Amino acid sequence: MEMVASPFLLFIDLFSEGKKTEPDYLEKFAEQHAKNKVKVNCLVRGQSLERLVDAAIEYSKTQLDDRYANRILCIVADKDKLRDAFLTQAIAKTNAYNKKCRKPHQKIRLYISNPCIELWALAHFMDKAFPDTARSCQQKLKAIMPRYDHDRGAPLFDIKSMTEERYQKAKKLALTWMATANNNPNQFPYTDIIELLENIKQIGQL
Protein backbone atom coordinates (compact mmCIF):
# COMPACT_ATOMS: atom_id res chain seq x y z
CA MET A 1 0.00 0.00 0.00
CA GLU A 2 1.51 3.28 -1.10
CA MET A 3 1.39 6.35 1.11
CA VAL A 4 0.22 9.49 -0.69
CA ALA A 5 -0.75 12.93 0.55
CA SER A 6 -4.53 13.22 0.79
CA PRO A 7 -7.11 15.69 2.08
CA PHE A 8 -9.30 12.86 3.38
CA LEU A 9 -9.73 12.58 7.14
CA LEU A 10 -10.98 9.00 7.02
CA PHE A 11 -10.61 6.07 4.65
CA ILE A 12 -13.11 3.22 4.78
CA ASP A 13 -11.66 -0.05 3.52
CA LEU A 14 -14.75 -1.99 2.54
CA PHE A 15 -15.27 -5.74 2.15
CA SER A 16 -18.74 -6.16 0.68
CA GLU A 17 -20.92 -9.20 0.14
CA GLY A 18 -22.81 -7.26 -2.51
CA LYS A 19 -21.13 -6.55 -5.82
CA LYS A 20 -22.71 -3.15 -6.40
CA THR A 21 -25.55 -2.12 -4.07
CA GLU A 22 -23.62 -1.55 -0.82
CA PRO A 23 -20.39 -0.12 -2.31
CA ASP A 24 -22.27 2.32 -4.53
CA TYR A 25 -24.57 3.44 -1.72
CA LEU A 26 -21.73 4.02 0.75
CA GLU A 27 -19.66 5.88 -1.83
CA LYS A 28 -22.60 8.17 -2.68
CA PHE A 29 -23.44 8.67 1.00
CA ALA A 30 -19.86 9.72 1.76
CA GLU A 31 -19.88 12.04 -1.25
CA GLN A 32 -23.07 13.70 -0.06
CA HIS A 33 -22.33 13.97 3.66
CA ALA A 34 -18.52 14.11 3.87
CA LYS A 35 -17.22 15.24 0.49
CA ASN A 36 -13.41 15.32 0.36
CA LYS A 37 -13.30 14.11 3.96
CA VAL A 38 -14.28 10.44 3.77
CA LYS A 39 -13.14 8.06 1.04
CA VAL A 40 -14.71 4.61 0.57
CA ASN A 41 -12.40 2.01 -0.99
CA CYS A 42 -14.14 -1.26 -1.85
CA LEU A 43 -11.35 -3.84 -1.76
CA VAL A 44 -13.40 -7.04 -2.03
CA ARG A 45 -16.94 -7.51 -3.30
CA GLY A 46 -19.29 -10.33 -4.22
CA GLN A 47 -17.94 -12.88 -1.73
CA SER A 48 -19.53 -14.95 1.04
CA LEU A 49 -19.39 -13.66 4.60
CA GLU A 50 -16.94 -16.42 5.54
CA ARG A 51 -14.54 -15.40 2.79
CA LEU A 52 -14.95 -11.72 3.61
CA VAL A 53 -13.97 -12.33 7.23
CA ASP A 54 -10.89 -14.33 6.21
CA ALA A 55 -9.87 -11.71 3.64
CA ALA A 56 -10.37 -8.83 6.08
CA ILE A 57 -8.29 -10.56 8.75
CA GLU A 58 -5.47 -11.18 6.28
CA TYR A 59 -5.63 -7.58 5.09
CA SER A 60 -5.57 -6.26 8.63
CA LYS A 61 -2.56 -8.40 9.53
CA THR A 62 -0.49 -7.60 6.47
CA GLN A 63 -1.47 -4.08 5.41
CA LEU A 64 -2.68 -1.95 8.31
CA ASP A 65 0.38 -0.85 10.22
CA ASP A 66 0.63 2.32 12.30
CA ARG A 67 0.86 4.54 9.20
CA TYR A 68 -2.82 3.91 8.51
CA ALA A 69 -4.47 5.05 11.73
CA ASN A 70 -7.00 7.15 9.78
CA ARG A 71 -8.63 4.04 8.28
CA ILE A 72 -11.46 1.80 9.38
CA LEU A 73 -11.90 -1.72 8.08
CA CYS A 74 -15.48 -2.78 7.44
CA ILE A 75 -17.42 -5.82 6.31
CA VAL A 76 -20.96 -5.21 5.05
CA ALA A 77 -23.20 -8.25 4.48
CA ASP A 78 -26.78 -9.50 4.48
CA LYS A 79 -28.23 -12.16 6.75
CA ASP A 80 -30.74 -13.28 4.12
CA LYS A 81 -30.58 -17.09 3.81
CA LEU A 82 -27.42 -17.45 5.88
CA ARG A 83 -27.98 -19.91 8.70
CA ASP A 84 -27.93 -18.47 12.21
CA ALA A 85 -25.01 -20.68 13.19
CA PHE A 86 -22.86 -19.46 10.30
CA LEU A 87 -23.51 -15.81 11.13
CA THR A 88 -22.81 -16.43 14.81
CA GLN A 89 -19.55 -18.13 13.87
CA ALA A 90 -18.49 -15.23 11.65
CA ILE A 91 -19.21 -12.75 14.44
CA ALA A 92 -17.28 -14.84 16.96
CA LYS A 93 -14.28 -15.14 14.63
CA THR A 94 -14.26 -11.40 14.02
CA ASN A 95 -14.53 -10.61 17.73
CA ALA A 96 -11.76 -13.05 18.60
CA TYR A 97 -9.45 -11.42 16.07
CA ASN A 98 -10.31 -7.91 17.27
CA LYS A 99 -9.32 -8.83 20.82
CA LYS A 100 -5.82 -9.59 19.57
CA CYS A 101 -5.41 -6.30 17.71
CA ARG A 102 -3.05 -3.78 19.24
CA LYS A 103 -4.42 -0.77 17.38
CA PRO A 104 -8.05 0.33 16.85
CA HIS A 105 -7.61 0.79 13.09
CA GLN A 106 -6.64 -2.87 12.73
CA LYS A 107 -9.96 -4.06 14.12
CA ILE A 108 -12.73 -5.26 11.81
CA ARG A 109 -16.17 -3.70 11.96
CA LEU A 110 -18.92 -6.06 10.89
CA TYR A 111 -22.22 -4.57 9.70
CA ILE A 112 -25.16 -6.92 9.05
CA SER A 113 -28.67 -6.30 7.73
CA ASN A 114 -31.42 -8.87 8.28
CA PRO A 115 -32.66 -9.78 5.80
CA CYS A 116 -30.74 -7.35 3.55
CA ILE A 117 -29.50 -3.79 3.06
CA GLU A 118 -32.73 -2.93 1.24
CA LEU A 119 -34.40 -3.05 4.66
CA TRP A 120 -32.49 0.14 5.51
CA ALA A 121 -33.80 1.83 2.37
CA LEU A 122 -37.36 0.73 3.15
CA ALA A 123 -37.07 2.20 6.65
CA HIS A 124 -37.02 5.64 5.03
CA PHE A 125 -40.55 5.05 3.70
CA MET A 126 -42.25 2.49 5.95
CA ASP A 127 -43.03 2.13 9.66
CA LYS A 128 -44.10 -1.49 10.02
CA ALA A 129 -44.89 -4.80 8.24
CA PHE A 130 -41.42 -5.04 6.71
CA PRO A 131 -40.73 -7.93 4.29
CA ASP A 132 -38.72 -10.74 5.88
CA THR A 133 -36.77 -11.98 2.84
CA ALA A 134 -34.25 -10.25 0.61
CA ARG A 135 -36.31 -10.85 -2.53
CA SER A 136 -39.50 -9.46 -0.99
CA CYS A 137 -37.59 -6.41 0.29
CA GLN A 138 -36.22 -5.81 -3.19
CA GLN A 139 -39.68 -6.14 -4.72
CA LYS A 140 -41.19 -3.77 -2.17
CA LEU A 141 -38.46 -1.22 -2.76
CA LYS A 142 -38.97 -1.38 -6.51
CA ALA A 143 -42.70 -0.76 -5.98
CA ILE A 144 -41.80 2.40 -4.07
CA MET A 145 -38.99 3.45 -6.42
CA PRO A 146 -39.53 2.04 -9.93
CA ARG A 147 -36.00 2.95 -11.03
CA TYR A 148 -34.51 0.57 -8.47
CA ASP A 149 -33.61 -2.82 -9.95
CA HIS A 150 -31.43 -5.11 -7.85
CA ASP A 151 -30.87 -7.64 -10.62
CA ARG A 152 -29.50 -4.99 -12.95
CA GLY A 153 -27.37 -3.34 -10.29
CA ALA A 154 -29.41 -0.16 -10.05
CA PRO A 155 -28.60 2.16 -7.13
CA LEU A 156 -30.16 1.38 -3.75
CA PHE A 157 -32.11 4.60 -4.04
CA ASP A 158 -31.64 8.11 -5.33
CA ILE A 159 -29.75 9.43 -2.35
CA LYS A 160 -30.12 13.05 -3.48
CA SER A 161 -33.89 12.77 -3.06
CA MET A 162 -33.60 11.56 0.54
CA THR A 163 -34.39 14.23 3.09
CA GLU A 164 -32.81 14.54 6.50
CA GLU A 165 -36.25 13.95 7.98
CA ARG A 166 -36.50 10.56 6.27
CA TYR A 167 -32.96 9.69 7.31
CA GLN A 168 -33.73 10.47 10.95
CA LYS A 169 -36.90 8.38 10.74
CA ALA A 170 -34.94 5.40 9.39
CA LYS A 171 -32.22 5.95 11.99
CA LYS A 172 -34.77 5.80 14.81
CA LEU A 173 -36.18 2.55 13.43
CA ALA A 174 -32.74 0.98 13.03
CA LEU A 175 -31.70 1.88 16.58
CA THR A 176 -34.98 0.45 17.90
CA TRP A 177 -34.40 -2.80 16.00
CA MET A 178 -30.86 -3.07 17.37
CA ALA A 179 -32.03 -2.52 20.93
CA THR A 180 -34.93 -4.95 20.59
CA ALA A 181 -32.61 -7.61 19.17
CA ASN A 182 -29.97 -6.92 21.84
CA ASN A 183 -27.55 -6.27 18.96
CA ASN A 184 -28.05 -9.78 17.59
CA PRO A 185 -28.30 -9.66 13.76
CA ASN A 186 -29.87 -13.11 13.69
CA GLN A 187 -33.05 -11.34 14.80
CA PHE A 188 -35.44 -9.78 12.28
CA PRO A 189 -35.74 -6.94 11.46
CA TYR A 190 -32.19 -5.73 12.00
CA THR A 191 -29.57 -3.45 10.50
CA ASP A 192 -26.61 -1.77 12.17
CA ILE A 193 -25.40 0.02 9.03
CA ILE A 194 -26.57 3.19 10.76
CA GLU A 195 -23.44 3.09 12.93
CA LEU A 196 -21.19 3.39 9.87
CA LEU A 197 -23.37 6.08 8.31
CA GLU A 198 -23.34 8.14 11.49
CA ASN A 199 -19.54 7.86 11.59
CA ILE A 200 -19.38 9.25 8.06
CA LYS A 201 -21.73 12.12 8.92
CA GLN A 202 -19.73 13.03 12.02
CA ILE A 203 -16.52 13.27 10.00
CA GLY A 204 -18.37 15.41 7.48
CA GLN A 205 -19.23 17.92 10.19
CA LEU A 206 -15.57 18.50 11.14
Q: Which helix (H) or strand (E) holds 21?
A: helix 21-33
User: What does the pLDDT read at residue 5?
Assistant: 57
User: What does the pLDDT read at residue 161?
Assistant: 64
Give the tens place of pLDDT for each residue, 88-114: 999 999 999 999 998 888 999 999 999
Tell me if 109 sits within 8 A of 196, measured CB to CB.
Answer: yes
CA distance 35 to 30: 6
Tell me if 44 sits within 8 A of 75, measured CB to CB.
Answer: no
User: What does the pLDDT read at residue 145?
Assistant: 84
Q: Which pTM was predicted?
A: 0.92
Helix axes 84-100, 49-63, angle to 10 degrees: 10
User: What does the pLDDT read at residue 51?
Assistant: 97
User: What does the pLDDT read at residue 1?
Assistant: 45
User: What does the pLDDT read at residue 70?
Assistant: 86
CA atoms within 13 A on the CB side of 67: 7
User: What does the pLDDT read at residue 2?
Assistant: 46
User: What's the average pLDDT block by block, 10 residues per block, for the chain (206 residues)?
Assistant: 66 95 92 93 96 97 81 95 95 97 92 96 92 93 84 67 87 97 97 97 92
User: What does the pLDDT read at residue 157?
Assistant: 65
User: What does the pLDDT read at residue 69?
Assistant: 75
